[in-house]
Structure 1
Amino acid sequence: MGICISCSASARKIQDGNENAMFFGKNIDLSGVQSFGSLYSKAGSKGLNQDSAILYQGYGVGDASLCGVFDGHGKNGHIVSEMVKNHLPALLQSQMQALEQFTLVTKSDGEKNYDDKTDTESKPSKNFKKWEDALCNAFRVMDKEIKLQQDLDCSCSGTTAVIALRQGKDLYIANLGDSRAILGTMTENGIKGIQLTTDLKPGVPSESERIRACNGRVFALEQEKHIQRVWLPHELLPGLAMSRAFGDFVLKDHGIIAVPDVSHRCLTSEDQFIVLATDGVWDVLTNNEVASIVWEAKTAEEAARTVTETAIATWKTKYPASKIDDCTVVCLFFSSL
């Protein structure tokens, strides 16, 4: 698949003396990472770091890059996020290959290929449909693979996922849960963070409507009125704080789905980078704050680490009585458009 860096709770640490801070490399010279992006993860104060992340350069075809963050939750959330990190990129690639093969067959029967260059006006929408199908299929298969693990109880464990694929000027995003993607765009007033995904939480009207239509319950506990959670029809369990996820099979008949929200953006010369991060970052930093930190970083490698450590420090001052959430960040820079 090309150059890859990835992170999880089991990978090696940076030599900075901090046992929670992690930066990871695999089969590459880490100095080369600076040319296109960085990732960094740091455990909060809840115990084992359940986040994972990945960053590929040369993914699939030509100039494509793929990045993603996965925020595990529940007893086995760290295992689920690791599984998704390890398997989802290959599943996506296989789904794309299957679709390409299908379009070649249908084209031979007289139908137009997704990429028929004579159909220039409709080409963007057809490309998006192809990627949307591949992403949704890959997520569906991934969820089935998790469920088939005989020695892994994921009834109340799972992970979010947000992945971004950049191919030339096209940026495709697939979001599952409450991690987030933003775009760093240069404006006349400086760098701005544009949110690319919706935080898919139970409080989103369309999400709660689906859950309640499946007899799931959505409400906040008295002691945390600001957090809407998903509950079984007749039990005060499990209290999931997101509306879509891999795993969490006890709620899959009650409105929790593994279908990603897929979107597309055509990049311009003003667009500088994309940042993906788990909700521990967005709970304490705004989109513009994150974009500014990344833009002011001295190197691409330093960007993800600085955002992560700023988020951890902000947790300590903003919510001193709360347990700090795990924080994971991936930065992908657009060196040329």
Structure 2
Amino acid sequence: MPKLDLGLPSYDSLFSTEEERQESKLEKIVSIPIDKISDFKNHPFHVTMDEDMLKLIDSIKENGILIPALVRPKDDGTYEMISGHRRKFAMSHIGLKEMTVIVRELDDDQATILMVDSNIQRENIYPSERGYAYKMRLEAMKHQGKTIDDFENDIPVEYNKTTSAQVGRKPETADVLGNQLGVSRNQIRRFIRLTYLIEPLQEMVDGRHESEIKIAFNPAVELSFLTTDEQYDLADAIVANDRTPSLAQCQEFKRLSHDGELTTEFIQETLEKEKPNQKEKLSFKMSEIDQYFPKDFTPNRKKDLIIHLLENWARKKSREQER
């Protein structure tokens, strides 16, 4: 009697398929082409050819990759980098074609948290990078079912004047993250505020703007509350005057912006005023003038002699002009 074919898979094929499916989920270390690894979506950390990168390139040339990168598989058969962007950059620069990686199945939130955690403890991280990293990690924690802090608004918080502890506030997501990273909730909030700055101002905070103008962290946090148009007006005024606003000036900008009274003219007029700490200064290294003094001269004696010689020079010039 012939077998009835119901079109169902055999027991062997079912077992084989399940075995392969489980095998595909196992973490494995493999070597894959670098061009099959894409960067993490919205990766917040810049990868540049700086001094640290040159050291990494030299290390890879001499020792190879000591620690495999971490990637996750994509549906199209390629991979997304989780940890190892700098190593990938260095290897590509050298001309290497394959990279040893750990392949791990991760959902978006797991991947984000691992990506941030593997980079956030590096020494040389720009302030804006840290802000984006904190923001991404907190958002991933939110998706995992945890509560999330509201960093959209600058909501005043009541503090105990003696202990500086916040009164009557339940622990929130940023408290958890802060405990993990050794950073206060308020500091996390302030770094996240940098993500609301326009790109030119972020570059100035990081010290990577082409003008080499640098904005301090605390003023930058205040500027993050300005509208986009106001920030562009400010960035233009900063470059035009080669001068950054003080903390007090930034706080005034923020107040006027909140009241809808901040104008382009006021920003320009403010930046045209010279801050006391931005007056032109003369500076030089002691090594540049040491050769002109006896070895036993202290810095103060050198200073007194310089002033004395300048006074004599000024008197001589004055007498010459009177003739």
Normalised to the residue count of structure 2, the TM-score between the two structures is 0.28
TM-score by length of 1: 0.27
The structure whose residues are more often helix, as a share, is 2
Higher strand share: 1
